[in-house]
Amino acid sequence: MHGLRLERSHTMSLACLSLALGAAAWAQPAPVGGATQPSYLKASDADIQWWRELKFGLFIHWGPVSLKGTEIGWSRGGERRGTGGTGEIPVEVYDNLYKDFNPVRFNAGEWLQVAKDAGMRYLVFTSKHHDGFSMFDSRLTDYKITNSPFKRDVVKELADACHKAGLRLGYYYSPVDWHHPDYRTATHQKYIEYMHGQLREICSNYGRIDIIWFDGLGGTAKDWDSENLFPMLRRLQPHVILNNRAGLPADHDTPEQRIGSFQKDRPWETCMTICQQWAWKPNDRMKSLKECLQTLVRVVGGDGNLLFNVGPMPDGRIEPRQVERLREMGQWLGKYGQSIYGTRGGPFKTTARLASTYSGNTVYVHILDWSGDTITLPGLPRKVTDSSLLTGGSVSVRQAQDAIEIAVPPQSRQEIDTIVKLTLDGPAAEIEPVAMASSSLAAGKKAKASNIYQGNQAHGPAKAVDDDPGTRWATDSGVQQAWLEVDLGKPAAFRRVAISEAYDRVRKFELQYKDGETWKTFLEGTRIGEEYTKDFSPVTAQIVRLNILEATDGPTIWEFQLLAPKQDR
């Protein structure tokens, strides 16, 4: 039973009246990108600007489900109206976890200090996930944190701590609610009233809110009545940033668990976990410092923000090893943050091994992996007047009309990120972004695969050889064996492979080349993970195959690259 309070009907009628008034207040159209759109659809340029400059934020998924160590929302049993499927925890168990939830070691100030130590500039917390449990003291339901043994309003304590610490504050709110009795039923309108009422509470009761982060699982604007919801939110919180998951484009895109593609015409933010699961899981695999920092650099180099997620433990603490990793990121940003904060992506488009950012007349070239002794960049229409190595050591930069060649001696290269600082004779913002010439022999070549996720070419094999870390080849759920094949067009020599895999599903694989009608194996391995590189004796072949022999579920590959001997990039 949902446990709605008797006063809900009265409260909702007031909410509907306020929604109507809010819609009227925002009814005047405003020109956006040459078109006429309602002004509530888009934040002001000034608000988009401050949001973009923050670059790095802390995402937090937390709730009673941490007692089980399973995924928030998705591990709940029972019917998933609108999506299908079910979770592994019986609904009668999941829905009663809050009765044993007493995170006595939760301290909002400590969480905020972790964020600041990590160099994060904003925080987004899950006020309500798909499971319907409210982590705030909503008057519209009894299924909430203040009815647990803990009894405290987590959303309020985080709001107070953020305002005190000077961090921008956001709340995740899922329009999806598998717990609510009216959700996606014949009486769904009652659920819309409830949802709008809860968002009114969040935007009215906790001071300034900078971000509302929806997670609508593909719902339409009609599903959530967003055309009335958005005016209310912007009236209550005039500077709020809204994402694109409530059926309207709103202010920014939200690539999930992947690095977004290079995109400057519309703001975007990658949301990604520090481990594998959004909510806390014992002994969950955690990303290395290199993976964490290179993800941040690639995201910012693509002109995006990174919202990096942790899942606190049942006692309320962020897991100590995660805290340590975040603080290591903060130490790096303390040295090199000028190449991240307040920058824009470009002028060189991001690849799997190189990113660039700029501010004013300064361009920061982030070299994330070396092959050969030099890096060759496309030419720029501006002169390089000065160069230095931000990460310390010596660098040589030679500029020609059609190329810029950078040489850094081995002793000055950094394992995670070698940052070359270039000063130009004019603003970098005036330069049209330029694509890097790929170092991979496989880039842009004809590819095919044994399986494609739902037959959708948006996840086809070509996405694994496009030199774009934001696209991927994916296979159907349940697939445990698959192959990806690339035709180089003519025989070519290569001596190194670089593979980036999503979700760490591969357990056994081999690399093969076609010799007549025979496949010959030249490399074998087990796990691939987010970053796999391997050198081997040079192989000359035209058709090469990544043959995945064993995977825990449908494997998916961001990038598959073959590198030639002594290949410059």
Domain 446-563 class in CATH: mainly beta
Name the residue with higher pLDDT: 108 or 563: 108
Centroid of chain to Cα 186 = 35
214 touches 208 (CB < 8 A): no
Residue 441 has pLDDT above 80, yes or no: yes
Q: Is the pLDDT of residue 11 over 50?
A: no
Q: Which of 232, 243, 230, 235 is nearest to 270 (CA)?
A: 243
C-alpha–C-alpha distance, residues 478 and 186, integer Å: 34
Among candidate residues 434, 267, 308, the one with its CA nearest the CA of residue 365: 434
For residue 107, give both structure tokens: 């301290």
Backbone angles phi, psi at 328, to 5 degrees: -65, -40
- 199: exposed, middle or buried (Cβ count in 10 Å: 0-12, 13-18, 19+): buried
Mean predicted confidence (pLDDT) in 271-284: 97
pLDDT for 37 equals: 57
* Spatial separation of the C-alpha atoms in residues 119 and 54, rounded to whole Å: 10
Contact between 154 and 107 (Cβ < 8 Å): no
Q: What's the pTM value of the predicted model, to 2 decimals?
A: 0.84
Q: Are strands 211-214 and 241-242 parallel, antiparallel or unpaired?
A: parallel
Q: Give the pLDDT of residue 532.
A: 92
pLDDT band at 160; cut points 50, 70, 90 = very high
Q: What does the pLDDT look like over 192-231, one tens digit per residue?
A: 999 999 999 999 999 999 999 999 988 999 999 999 999 9
**Mean pLDDT (whole number) for 179-190:** 98
pLDDT value of position 269: 98
Residue 463 reports pLDDT greater than 80:
yes
Does residue 27 carry a pLDDT above 80? no
Task: Tell me the backbone φ, ψ of residue 25, rounded to 5 degrees.
Answer: -65, -25
Nearby residues of 568 by Cβ (< 8 Å), 6 or more positions away? 371, 372, 373, 374, 375, 376, 439
Give the C-alpha separation, 432 to 173, whole Å. Answer: 37
DSSP 431: S
Residues 280, 286 contacting (CB under 8 angstroms): no
Checking if the pLDDT of 20 tops 80, the result is: no
pLDDT band at 40 (very low <50, low <70, confident <90, very high): confident
Amino acid at 299: V
Give the pLDDT band of residue 564 (cuts 50, 70, 90).
confident
How large is the average pLDDT for residues 374-394? 96
pLDDT-based confidence at residue 566 (cuts at 50, 70, 90) = low
Question: Average per-residue pLDDT in the chain?
Answer: 91
Backbone angles phi, psi at 14, to 5 degrees: -65, -40
Q: How far is CA 174 from the centre of its chain?
A: 17
For domain 8-28+36-334, the CATH architecture is Alpha-Beta Barrel (3.20)
- pLDDT tens per residue, range 391-440: 999 999 999 989 999 999 999 999 999 999 999 999 999 999 998 877 88
More confidently predicted of 21 and 94: 94
Which pLDDT score, from 0 to 100, does residue 351 have? 86
For domain 344-430, the CATH superfamily is Golgi alpha-mannosidase II (2.60.40.1180)
The tens digit of pLDDT for each residue in 60-88 reads 999 999 999 999 999 999 999 999 999 99
41: pLDDT confidence band, cut at 50, 70 and 90? confident
Q: What is the pLDDT averaged over residues 110-131?
A: 98
Would you state the pLDDT for residue 458?
Answer: 87
Q: State residue 442's pLDDT score.
A: 95
> What integer pLDDT is reported at residue 34 of this predicted model?
44
**For every residue of 252-315, which 3-state class applies, written as one string?**
EECCECCCCCCCCCCCEEEEEECCCCCCCCCCCCCCCHHHHHHHHHHHHHCCCEEEEEECCCCC
Percent of the chain surpassing pLDDT 90: 85
Rounded-to-integer distance, Cα 297 and Cα 293, Å: 6
Cα separation, 313 vs 290, in Å, equals 24
- C-alpha span between 72 and 65 (Å, rounded): 6
Q: Is the peptide bond before 565 cis (omega within 30 degrees of 0)?
A: no
The phi, psi pair for 157, rounded to 5°, reads: -65, -35
Domain ranges of the chain: 8-28+36-334, 344-430, 446-563
Q: Using alpha carbons only, give the angle 130, 135, 138 rounded to the nearest 5 degrees.
A: 100
- What pLDDT score was predicted for residue 471? 87
Helices and strands (H and E) in the chain: how many: 10, 24
Give the residue from 142, 127, 115 showing the smallest Cα distance to 2: 142
DSSP secondary structure string for all residues of 191-259 = HHHHHHHHHHHHHHHSS---EEEE--TT--HHHHTHHHHHHHHHHHSTT-EEBS-SSS--SBB--BSSP
Distance CA 78, CA 85 (A): 8
How many residues in total does the chain contain? 569
Q: Is residue 35 scored above 90 in pLDDT?
A: no
- Return the bridge partners of 196, or none: none
Contact 99, 148 (CB under 8 A): yes
Tracing tokens 């067009």 back to the chain, one arrives at: 489
Q: Amino acid identity, residue 148?
A: S
482-514 pLDDT, tens digit each: 999 999 999 999 999 999 998 889 999 999 999
